[in-house]
Amino acid sequence: MSTINIDQLIQALESGVDSLAKSTLNDYLSQAKTDGENAIDDMKGNLQKWTLELESGVLTADDLAFLLKEQSALDEMTTLKQAGLAEVRVDQFKSDLINMITNTIFSFIKI
């Protein structure tokens, strides 16, 4: 005859959800932060380089204006990518949650 201690099961599920949520969020935040810092570093480098090139005549004022708009478009693309990856994280969390619930329930079934 199979028996399940429901209180312990619920406690195990709550603990599992908490751990899963923290690890999912930490992974996403870490990646987003790295991407953000890289984008800012690239932008600073570009602005310095383009300013020098403008002063030396290698770039025209129109060139610089267009490059600044292209940089802005790239920033928008990066932001969209992060938004998409956040949605992926949500779906991954759901999938991991199902796995955790299934494994926890079956670990509690005692024959």
Partner 1 sequence: MLSYQSKRDVILALFSVMVLITSCATISEFDQYSYTQATSLKVDALNVMSNATDNFYLHQADVAQIRTELSKIYEYEKNKPKNEVTTKMWNILIDSTGSSFGGFLTRWQKETKLDTAFINESKILVGASFDQVSELESGKIKASSIVN
Structure tokens at 14: 């709550």
Q: Is 21 in the site for partner 1 (CB under 8 A)?
A: no
Cα atoms found within 13 Å of the Cα of residue 25, Cβ hemisphere only: 6
The answer to whether 27 contacts partner 1 (rule: CB under 8 A) is no
What residues are paired with 110 via a beta bridge?
A: 3
CB 110 within 8 A of CB 3: yes
CB 9 within 8 A of CB 108: yes
Per-residue binding string, partner 1, 29-58, x by CB under 8 A, is -------------x---x--xx--x----x
Give the Cβ contact number of residue 107 at 10 Å.
Answer: 10
Binding characters for partner 1, 82-101, by CB under 8 A (x = yes): -xxx-xx-xxx-xx-xxx-x
Binding interface with partner 1 (CB under 8 A): 3-4, 6, 42, 46, 49-50, 53, 58-60, 63, 66-67, 69-74, 76-78, 80-81, 83-85, 87-88, 90-92, 94-95, 97-99, 101-102, 105
